[in-house]
Amino acid sequence: MNSISYSQKALDDLYRLMDFMETVSPQTLPKMMNTIQTAIDQLAYMPEMGRVSEFSQLRQLTIPFGRNAYFVLYDYQESHQHIDIVAMRHSRELGW
């Protein structure tokens, strides 16, 4: 099993996504958090499930949520059995 850590940028992104969801649909926030956390937890066992990003050697995990999705950008260091979550965003947001 691989270890997982979060960069400060990824944590900031997650808090921003949470704040937005709390504003527009507070009752949906727990489901959103559970969906994101469950998908990230799966990376510990299946680190290559995200596709290689078109912009770098980082991987991008797509997490479907309703009619949209969340994207998680991560670095898989196979030799260290470690995953670093680099950034997160909603599918309606532009770029990283």
Residue-wise pLDDT for 46-90, tens only, equals 999 999 987 788 999 999 999 999 999 999 998 999 999 999 999
Contact yes or no for 71/63 (Cβ under 8 A): yes
Residue ranges per structural domain of the chain: 3-90
User: What CATH topology corresponds to 3-90?
Assistant: YaeB-like fold (3.30.2310)
Query: Which tokens hold the place of 55?
Result: 């912009």
Residue 57, pLDDT score: 87
Q: At 5, phi and psi to the nearest 5? A: -130, 165
Residue with tokens 């969801």: 21
| Whole-number pLDDT of residue 78 | 87
Q: Tens digit of pLDDT for each residue in 14-27?
A: 999 999 999 999 99
Q: Is the distance from CB of 91 to CB of 14 less than 8 angstroms? A: no
* pTM exceeding the 0.85 threshold for the entire prediction: yes
Taken as a whole, the chain contains a residue count of: 96
